[in-house]
Structure 1
Amino acid sequence: MKTQGTAGPKPAVLAGLFALGFIGLAVVTPMLALIVIAPAMPDLSADYLGFVWSITKFTVLQAGLSTLLSVLTAIPLARALARQASFPGRNIILRLLALPLALPALVVVLGIVEVWGRQGWVSTVLQGAGLSGPLNIYGLAGILIAHVFFNMALAARLLVAALEQIPPENWRLAAQLSFTSGHVFRHIEWPVIRSVLPGIASLVFMLCIASFAVVLVLGGGPGATTLEVAIYQSLRFDFDPPRAVLLAVLQLALCAGLFVLGGRMATDIAVLSGVGKQVRRPDQATSRRTDGLVIAAGLVFIALPMLAIVLSGITAPFGSIVSQSVFWRALVTSLVLALTAASLSLVMAWSLLAAQRTIMRRRRLSRAASAFVSSMQASGSLILVVPPIVIGAGWFVVLHRTGLATSAAPVIVAIVNALMALPFALRILSPAVVGQAQIHDRLCASLGLAGYQRWRLIDLPVLVRSLALAFALAAALSIGDLGAAALFGSADFITLPLLLLQKMGSYRSVEAAGIALLLAGFCLGLIWLAEQLKPGVQTS
């Protein structure tokens, strides 16, 4: 893959090759280990096959229902937000819709239990009104509530961004034709929604298929167990590698099949940077009251668990929490893992994008170069095909056989968390890298700026905010992750999510609420600090 005028590949291309090889090694090695190290298949009796089928069926069922509910509730919320451009606090609401992505799943679960649990706010109100007994949050109902909380917000944001790409000419024509709200939806909005809906639905479905912490806490027993939770139980409680292998292969096959199917159905989804554009619509005034109710309902559903986290957390005995040595060990471990994973994720993302940018400058691409670019683009979505719990399971089997499961745990967890954050880092950095390349490539070529000098003088000032946001989101995802850490957790290796899970399991809910508030504060604080940075001035 030689570049014109040089004796070999440029450093950026070499860095991209190294990043691609590292990703492949980190993912393929545990997959091979699951097949080679644990070749003995379990006894495939009728009862065992029935058990595996029930877990697989529930995995698909909960993901399908979660996707359906998330999309059906997101469509009216997105329409209302897109239509009411002058709605009071609209920008704040749009920012609030982005918060669930940054919140640790375990923290959200605790907030949902506070709101919807047997002794939660909703149960108290319903019992006080004599309408119902205590609600049972554990099982399918709780899983659906948690998944809708996370994914309705994501789907609504993506749909708002898509609706705001509708040309102004369409609205002027609709006004001239006196379109009602129904006409607007049928002739203008629905074609746009229909074009992006398969991609959004497939993304939500994949996220629900790979949900671990939500199902682990709210599953409520064998009848509400997914493949990922069953893999975790097979290794941590039963240490049954053959069963874990079978379940991991099923999870891998399911995710790969869904990813291919989703890729065929999906079209490009509008980026979130367009959210906030205001246009005049003919149905804005007539739908104001209905839209206000829809927005209020969506806001209440999303804000209540967050409010419950805050109200429960501020009354926690922080003096008792911080006096425990295990808290400080968990905090230091989580911070080190988060910073390491975020740095590794950022380095991989930048290496892939820089290599892709370097190769795409050539007028004609060889087959090898085209294949390399395609591989880089696919690597960002690899974690959707091979979920973190499956990667962690493979490494757990390898390291347990070699006796290194405890000593190597921090390294493996950091790598898995970095891979988990890579798609988000690429999604944040890619538009910024492409945009500044279009502006500055010719200028840098004429000035002879390349390599480190270009990075220091041109790229870094322009991309500093995008880099910081990608780093902060990767760190937030890592510090709140439970999946890989739960496999390798021990008395010597504990993170804040693991400590929170232990407190919840031992019914020390007051201390759990305090740790949850601190964990949420760390994650949201990272995102807030990154957003305060201002990008450098771009020159054309």
Structure 2
Amino acid sequence: MRAIGGGALVLAVITGFAGTALAALLLFDGAGFSGLLDTYTLSVARFTLWQATLSTLLSVLFGIPVARALARRPQFPGRIWIVRLLAVPMGLPVLIGALGLIGIWGRQGAMNDLLRMLGLAEPVSIYGLSGILLAHVFFNMPLAARLMLAGLERIPGEYWRVAASLGMPSRSVFRFIEGPVLLGLLPGVAGLIFMLCVTSFTLVLVLGGGPAATTIEVAVYQALRFDFDPGRAVALALMQITMTGILLAAMAFVPVPVEQSATLARGGRRFDGWRRQTQWVDGTVLLLATTFTGLPLLAVVLAGLKADLPALLFSPAFRRAALTSLAIALSAGCLSVMLAATIIHARAAIGSERRAGMALRGIRAGLSGAGSLILLVSPLMLGTGWFLALRPFGDVARFAPTLVIVINSLMALPFVIRVLSPAFDVHQARTGRLAASLGIQGFARLRLIDGPVLAKPVLMALSFAMALSLGDLGAVALFGSDDLVTLPYLIYSRLGSYRTNEADGFALILGFVCLLLTVVGTLGSRNRMTDDR
């Protein structure tokens, strides 16, 4: 019962935190619901949906040939490194990725220098809609490719033997084997990417380039930080929450892909990639994908090395920002892990009840939804609501560190739950009954049974949650000040003052710290991921 009580308490805290922010938005005196339909709000909403639609289409369309090429080449030399390279943008702080893209596609970037050498006078613009689309494809195409690759690798081996015996060409293989699998995956993949693009903040803030290319989240930030127009911010925030609510409701009706029969062999050898033409096509696709993904990362490293790194490391501004960032990241990571552990433990306890009543089933459903609450109410929307709620109590900056920690912990919560839940479920199935029969409970069970086994998943979840918090600019952009400066906020401020050399150096340091956290979290992991097959 203590586990269920803890889960109920966590549910109350999370819903109370989000509910307070939402209530502050709804009850704000200067906000009329007519603001939801004014010209500016509707134009921003249209651009938000338009850029998200285009970004999703491009990410999926470019991700399909990459996934097919990787699936056809399981023994391709260096394949594991290509798959790992595709995973880097998903864990890279968004601000660092934006700097890398500017280094390649910016006015003075390598790509525009090459175009000028070829005699093209008009350079490619990294700002505006084109830059937003380019950045979203950089971050989301690898995600789409990896998700679709996992689906293609689950196709039974018998399918490939039958296709080989029939001499099916590549077109027929795609039509009758790969196509149906991808078609089942596309709604979920596209829905996820679309949601990420709708709630995109940092990329649009850095690459938007003006009012004509502004999403709802950036417009809320500008309304509060620059225009100080809370009424407009509330109208935009309500529009954002309405849109994300509709999107999440629509995604709930997306059918789950039907798995093939479990009796069929998995991971069978493919026979459709031996033709010379197919080899050339796959090689070209993988080369283009690797170049597109790797060049911005290389640009970040090269630009960062040009900076005076020792001077930056020992500068007072860096030391202060680094200590602030690490304190916030550690606090947010620990809080997120504790919330996730309580939620998982409570759900398991309710699931073990033979006669769970309506109240218990409601708590379990609420806990499942609370873990993904951040998908409905983005960090910036939570920050906006609390900004309005705390204004009557004086300077909001006094509460900024606590708010940033809580918001970042909720932002990392879905990922932490996804990491811890499988490990906990397996461990509980193996040891739960034995521990109960021996009467081992509380701290003794934690020390003797749970701790040694779950330490590695907890460390992995904590490290990734810290890396996610460390590289986040969303909540800090709203509450950041001279008294609250994190590394992403420091980088953004240096960019705003045109001190790009320092920004590049700080970006390299931040990227290295995030990479180090990721490596620490995966040390000793025995789980075999897709890229290790």
The 2-side partners of 1:331 and 1:470 are apart by: 21
Residue 269 of structure 1 and its aligned partner are, at CA, apart by: 10
CA RMSD of aligned residues (A): 1.9
Q: Secondary structure at the match of 1:474?
A: helix
1:480 aligns with 2:471: yes
Contact preservation (8 Å) 1:67, 1:204: yes
Deviations 1:333-380 (A, max 9, x none): 110000011111111111111111122123343222222222122222
Q: Secondary structure at the match of 2:103?
A: helix
Equivalent residue for 1:453, pick from 412, 420, 444:
444
1:138 aligns with 2:153: no
Contact preservation (8 Å) 1:464, 1:534: no
The 1-side partners of 2:6 and 2:295 are apart by: 45
1:521 aligns with 2:499: no
Deviations 1:67-102 (A, max 9, x none): 111111111111111121111111222222221122
**Greater CA drift, 374-383 or 450-459:** 450-459
| Alignment correspondent of 2:530 | none
| Alignment correspondent of 1:274 | none
| Alignment correspondent of 2:192 | 203
Deviations 1:286-324 (A, max 9, x none): 233321211111111111111000000011112332343
Equivalent residue for 1:424, pick from 394, 399, 415:
415
The 1-side partners of 2:257 and 2:383 are apart by: 31
- Structure 2 portions without partners, runs of 5+: 260-265, 528-533
Equivalent residue for 1:30, pick from 21, 46, 57:
21
| Alignment correspondent of 2:246 | 257
The 2-side partners of 1:439 and 1:159 are apart by: 32
The 2-side partners of 1:55 and 1:297 are apart by: 33
Equivalent residue for 2:336, pick from 345, 370, 386:
345
TM-score, structure 1 as length reference: 0.92
Equivalent residue for 2:12, pick from 21, 35, 39:
21
Residue 43 of structure 1 and its aligned partner are, at CA, apart by: 7.9
The 2-side partners of 1:324 and 1:400 are apart by: 34
- Structure 1 portions without partners, runs of 5+: 1-9, 271-276
1:358 aligns with 2:338: no
Deviations 1:188-229 (A, max 9, x none): 111111112111111101111111010001000000001100
Cα 1:207–1:269, aligned 2, differ >3 Å: closer, same or farther? farther
1:238 aligns with 2:227: yes
User: Number of matched residues?
Assistant: 519
Contact preservation (8 Å) 1:13, 1:355: yes
The 2-side partners of 1:22 and 1:182 are apart by: 54
Contact preservation (8 Å) 2:154, 2:267: no
TM-score, structure 2 as length reference: 0.94
Contact preservation (8 Å) 2:21, 2:382: yes
Cα 1:518–1:298, aligned 2, differ >3 Å: closer, same or farther? same
Equivalent positions of 1:326-405 (< 5 A) are 326-405=317-396
Runs of 4+ in 1 over 6 A off after TM superposition: none
The 1-side partners of 2:372 and 2:255 are apart by: 14
Deviations 1:370-402 (A, max 9, x none): 222221222222111111110000111122221
The 2-side partners of 1:366 and 1:449 are apart by: 27
Identity %: 46
Residue 533 of structure 1 and its aligned partner are, at CA, apart by: 2.9
Cα 1:464–1:292, aligned 2, differ >3 Å: closer, same or farther? farther
1:75 aligns with 2:64: yes
| Alignment correspondent of 1:147 | 136
Deviations 1:246-284 (A, max 9, x none): 0100000001001111121252699xxxxxx85311213
The 1-side partners of 2:354 and 2:184 are apart by: 32
1:221 aligns with 2:210: yes
**Greater CA drift, 96-105 or 252-261:** 96-105
The 1-side partners of 2:33 and 2:163 are apart by: 63
Contact preservation (8 Å) 2:24, 2:386: yes
Equivalent residue for 1:466, pick from 435, 445, 457:
457
Contact preservation (8 Å) 2:157, 2:267: no
The 2-side partners of 1:21 and 1:353 are apart by: 15
Equivalent residue for 1:191, pick from 171, 180, 184:
180
Cα 1:392–1:206, aligned 2, differ >3 Å: closer, same or farther? same
| Alignment correspondent of 1:442 | 433
Letter in 2 for 1:112: L
Contact preservation (8 Å) 2:329, 2:469: yes
Cα 1:436–1:179, aligned 2, differ >3 Å: closer, same or farther? farther
**Greater CA drift, 293-302 or 453-462:** 453-462
Equivalent residue for 1:61, pick from 29, 46, 50:
50
The 1-side partners of 2:153 and 2:518 are apart by: 25
